[in-house]
A and B are shown apart, each in its own frame.
Chain A
Amino acid sequence: MRQGLMIIMLMLSGSALASMAEHAQRANTAGIDVITYRTQVKDMVVIVAALPAGDAMAESGNAAVPTLSGMMLDRGTKLLDMFAIADKLDSVGAEVAFEVGTQSLHIKAKCLKKDLPLVIGLIASELRTPALLPAEFAKAKQQFIGGLQASAQNSGARAREAFERNIYPDGHPNRPHTLAEFVAAAKSATLDEVKAFQAKYYGPAHMAMVVAGDVSDADTRAEIAKAFSGWSGGQDFIRSSAKSSAASAAREVTVPLADKPSVTVILGQATGLRYRDPDALALRVGTAILGRGFTGRLMAAVRDREGLTYGINAVVADDSISDGAWDVSASFAPALLQKGIASTRRELDRWWKDGVTAQELAVRKQGIIGDYLVGLSTTGGLADQVLINVQRGYDVSWLDEYSQAVNAVTLAQVNAAIKAHLNPESMVLVEAGSVGPSPH
């Protein structure tokens, strides 16, 4: 009875939660796609923004320049040096951070309501008039190179790099450079290259900004208009490219690292799918049945029943802007590695051949929706979700429509999507760590 009521409630959730999108206001301000969202939180404001200026935009140029360009943003503007900026933020407890991803330069900020004008003004100054001092550039390069070198022994990072380089073809935006390539590129990067990159990519044309929390739409837009007025330029994301083939040849890749008691394993393939493609949501729901949470088939079998790993999960990833990937990732002790991989493949094959059941689908859809709604209960979680929705090409109404879309996925769609877009026999297997004799 209780479960029945819950399902009814979730089926109604689309209409019951229709008010979510009503709290959002979306309009172009100073050339930027700005969404404001008033939440119940008092005094606090969260800003998340993104513009196309990620690693993929290096294209055939210097691979390190996008990241170095992002690293220079909080190192001073034409008017304020790095420490003066930090002082302004620290003195009111505000936080601003820049992060360079595959396709985006991300901006994340948090402040008190009263300090929103200050924070928006600083973000605008950092984007529009960075100081780009040679001495600071030298420090940024040193930190970037040092960070890369420090990650050389990280089994997770090395496994991910090997996996993505083996599933994405040359020219695909999700194909990463190697660690060595990044280091070499960082060493040779010049300030002129950074200036040219910022001039080409930093602009409002394809930038989205979400301002959520205790905000007034009118006041927020006024501040953005004042801070960003006259800014121009910017490039689009790389949405079309050398599309990955879902049926790449199977291969095994070993990344040897010494003295690693746990081996990182990734098994998967490119999907050729983007988030909004017709089968993508069905594949996501099916993948959750295989590898999400403690009750996913992989955790239930490989961890709970067989005790072979601390964690194993399956995901569809990196498909928001370009076509992405599907993978299972896990960790195994070297002595249990082959047994762990065999168990993983057994569960994967069974899932792929036999599909999922109606009962599994019903329960998992309910869980996905519940988890989604819990995630929206914080201002930060909501802002992140709105931004990624916009990057995926949805309007703010998708906040409400997502639950309905999940509920509408059928058993036939899930099992067909699994078969259509995945092939366990042609997946790439990466093992990173001390793959050899172990103490037990």
Chain B
Amino acid sequence: MLLNLDDSRPRVLRRAQWSPGVLCAAICALQASAAPAPTPTVAPAPADLGTAGFTHVKSLGGIDEYRLDHNGLTVLLAADHSAPVVTFEVTYRVGSRNEVTGVTGATHILEHMMFKGSDAFNDAKGNSIKQMLERVGGQFNASTGADRTNYFATIGKENLEGYIAIEADRMRNLWLHESDRQSEMTVVRNEYERGKNDPDNVLVEEVTAAAYVALPYHHPTIGWRSDIEHVPISKLRDFYNTFYWPNNATVTVVGDFDTANALALIKKYYGAYPHSPEAIPTIYTEEPPQTGERRVVVKRPGEAGTVIIAHKVPNGRDADQPALEMLDAILSSGKNARLYRALVDQGLALSAGSGTDLHYDLSLHTLYAAMNPGTEHQAAEKALWTEIDKIKASGVSAAEVARVKQQYIAQDAYKRDGTAAIASELSEWIGVGDWTLYVTFPQKVQEVTPADVQRVAKKYFNEDETTTGWFVPVAEKAGAGS
């Protein structure tokens, strides 16, 4: 909806926004004095909490996972009583990776259509989800990614039942009217157009499309323009009826709630639905090996160019990801970062960084330089490669690794301030395929050694597996605009 930036946000710039390296740290494990990384523990099921009808799956880092026996709905509960608010979020394990040619962007359009109402809750009745949440001052939205779609609100705790009732209702009772599709299509098209105003967004889209040839990450989450305009309502309905089932969803509650009451409410409203009649489709497509460098160039009016160097790296659950995260922090985090020193401080770039767009399947690692006007693309690209080659040849220092580990310890404290951020990050890990990485990923980063960083640099940053993109600014065409 309005503030959903997932489709248009240049993912290469996203490390500081959600990438686990910045936001992720164990809820309770990493204390400043802890020398060794603590071991995750699986706690026994909380007793006497009104869990009838639920199976306790596991508890980790202050988060309890349950399964609603009746229909397979996954539930994550993270209590935090520091403020009288609660964030409720439902994450569907469906994203643009589940789309094919002709229906690209369908996941995202469906996300928009989820605000159009149902027989029970709609604008005419004055009780639609946006009316309810804006009446009580809730902060709410929805977002679509490659691997998941989520809907969420942060509200006063007294409003929890009202929100769960509507959120659960639209899981299976959504209106999907052609008239609504027509008006919402132009809304989504304007969202697409806004994204295209920024040449860097276009560059990221084209680099991604070139990097992936078989996996559906090839196409942008917002979809191709022609698909946005022409996807029929029947296809959206098929999509909804295939993926919007309790056994393909996780509801997450973070904040000031009573466990027994929260589970009772979830059971009351989500328990009404059966398990999906058909198995949720799986993706069996695999990306073929890349056997040579790929290059894309975007030319648009502008003043300063951009260089992106992309490599496919393993899925977000892979054991090498913590070392890649450490590498990215050393390259990108703060003024002491290697890319800042080599590119920004030397006047080649306005900003430079690196990060991984973590995925359920192959992830995409990117290095970027937003160039100073006047910098040659070759010079920026060479400078990025020089820093990678240094790590491949000489590794990183123990001091650099230690510094990043301390940053993670501080992030552990920062992330406890606010329920919405916790729920949001959990949702990203759900999309990657394992919510427990919210807790364990930071612990694994604490175990990374300098040798690990050098190893993954050598393993993944090979020239023949590179996709390089340049945004080349050009002068405005004569007569452009009015």
**Chain A contact residues, CB within 8 Å of chain B:** 2-3, 6, 9, 39-44, 46, 74, 82-83, 85-87, 89-94, 110-112, 114, 139, 142-143, 145-147, 149-150, 152-155, 213, 254, 256-262, 292-295, 299-300, 303-311, 331-333, 336, 363, 366-381, 433-436, 440
Instruction: Among A90, A154, A380, point to the contact of B334 (Cβ < 8 A).
Output: A90
Give 6 pairs: A residue, B residue, CB < 8 Å, sorted on A: A91-B406, A139-B347, A143-B372, A146-B304, A258-B480, A294-B2
From B45-53, B235-243, B411-419, B453-461, the one touching the partner chain is B411-419
A420 to B34, CA, bound (A): 62
* Sample of 18 further A-B pairs with CB below 8 A, known A87-B336, A307-B183, A376-B83: A2-B162, A42-B413, A86-B336, A91-B402, A139-B347, A146-B372, A257-B476, A262-B196, A295-B130, A299-B2, A303-B187, A310-B190, A367-B136, A371-B137, A374-B156, A377-B84, A377-B85, A381-B418
* Minimal Cβ-Cβ distance residue in B for A155: B197
Determine if B189 is an interface residue (Cβ-Cβ < 8 Å): yes
Give the residue name and chain of the A residue nearest to B419 (CB). Answer: A377
What is the CA–CA distance of A86 and B477 in the complex, to the nearest angstrom? Answer: 43
Residue B286 CB within 8 A of the other chain: no
A120 CB, min distance to chain B CBs, angstroms: 16
**Which B residues are CB-close (under 8 A) to A433?**
197, 481
- Write the chain B residue with the least CB distance to A84: B336
Contact A294 B134 (CB under 8 A): yes
Complex-state Cα separation, A112 to B406, whole angstroms: 11
In the bound complex, residues from chain A placing their C-beta under 8 Å from that of B402 are 91
Seen from chain B, the residues whose Cβ lies within 8 Å of a Cβ on chain A are 1-2, 32, 82-85, 115, 123, 130-131, 134-139, 154-156, 158-159, 162, 182-194, 196-199, 300-304, 333-336, 341, 344-345, 347, 350, 370, 372-373, 402-403, 406-411, 413-414, 416-419, 476-477, 480-482
- Are A366 and B136 also in contact (CB < 8 A) when A41-B417, A92-B410 are? yes
Complex: chain A residue closest to B305, CB-CB: A150
CB–CB B301/A257 < 8 A: yes
A258 in complex: contacting residue of B85, B156, B184, B301, CB < 8 Å: B301
For A39, give the chain B residue with the smallest CB separation.
B82
Instruction: Please name all residues of chain B whose beta carbon is closer than 8 Å to the beta carbon of A149 when the two chains form the complex.
Output: 303-304, 373
Q: What residues of chain B lie closer than 8 Å to A373, measured between beta carbons?
A: 85, 137, 156
What residue in chain A is nearest B405 (Cβ atoms)? Answer: A93
Q: Establish whether residues A40 and B83, one from each chain, have CB atoms under 8 Å apart when the complex forms.
A: yes
Q: Assess whether B189 is in contact with A333, with CB atoms less than 8 Å apart.
A: yes
From A254, A304, A331, A371, give the contact of B183 (CB < 8 A).
Answer: A304
- Please indicate which of the listed interface residues A90, A310, A375 has the most CB atoms of chain B within 10 Å of its own CB: A310
Q: Tell whether, in the assembled complex, residue A139 and residue B345 are in contact, meaning their CB atoms are under 8 Å apart.
A: yes
In Å, the complex CA distance between A94 and B192 comes to: 37
Closest CB of chain B to A45's CB: distance in Å?
9
- Which residues of B lie under 8 Å from residue A260 when comparing CB positions? 197
Inter-chain contacts of B482 with A (CB < 8 A)? 254, 256, 435-436
CB neighbours (8 Å) of B408 from chain A are: 93
Chain B residues with CB under 8 Å of A370's CB are: 135-138, 155-156
- Distance in angstroms from A82 CB to nearest chain B CB is 6
| Set B82, B135, B156, B301: member contacting A259, Cβ < 8 A | B301
Q: Whole-angstrom distance from the CB of B137 to the nearest CB of chain A?
A: 2
Report A380 CB to chain B, min CB distance, Å: 7
